[in-house]
Structure 1
Amino acid sequence: MGCYNDKVVRDLPFLAKIGLVTLNNCRQACWRYGFKYFGVQNSNLCYCGDTYNKYGKVDDVRCQKRCLGNKAQICGDLWLNNIYETGIGGNDESDYTRETESEKSEEQTVPDEESTIIDGNTDNEPSIDKDTDSGADT
């Protein structure tokens, strides 16, 4: 899809709680909940949703930060999402590399006030929670 602007009212409104972000673990978390799109931002955030492009596309070279979980991958930039399809509705999972054990981590991201949180941990049954604690780490 490409590189897209983001703002406080998120373009992709669901924040996936995953360990160190890679394209594959973000895609898996969003796909698991049935979302059409996932976006990676600022090297360490994973967002999910069914629509995108509220704030416009920018030149792909503006999304330059490396993913914390896989330095060979690009994961957006500050207030910029690299957006991809999850595979719901036709895309093939083979477009993404398999995640290795070294890409997993217990580290969690701190959500913002405008995001609904989904648990993207693939080792447990996921849950969806509404973020109501003003950004405190849960």
Structure 2
Amino acid sequence: MSLNMVKLCVGAEEIGDLEAWQKRLMRSYPQPVHHTRMVPKQVDELLDGGSIYWVIKGLIQVRQKITDIRVMADRNGRKACELVLDPEIVLVEPTPKRPFQGWRYLKPDEAPADIKRDSKAEEIPPSLHAKLKEAMVW
């Protein structure tokens, strides 16, 4: 069974900030990568079709498929990992998420649904979309 990860996109004000950050990274790497201090215990499940869901400004807004997880040592010799991500950033239904540290597992049935490209939902600002969804209007 696949498993997902949810992580705060620290420093990003909008999805474009994440895209710009990853474009800069891809000057040095063939695919976007994200370094984290903790190594997931459920690597096989994450690599079985799992994605990282990014929280931007208190909302889960996008996801990227995890293509590889590389265990490595940090500067102090402790275990760390590098998440290798698919470059495609997929919009998802904006879903509120409270602040937390590190990352959390996210079961597939708890993950926000993808937003289809060229849909009207793509044009609505994520914060408004989340409020409409919360009010059961959307």
Query: Which TM-score band applies after superposition, normalised by the shorter structure?
Result: under 0.3
Q: Which has the larger radius of gyration?
A: 2
Q: TM-score, normalization: structure 1?
A: 0.27
Q: Higher RCO, 1 or 2 (CA under 8 Å, sep at least 6)?
A: 1
Q: TM-score, normalization: structure 2?
A: 0.27
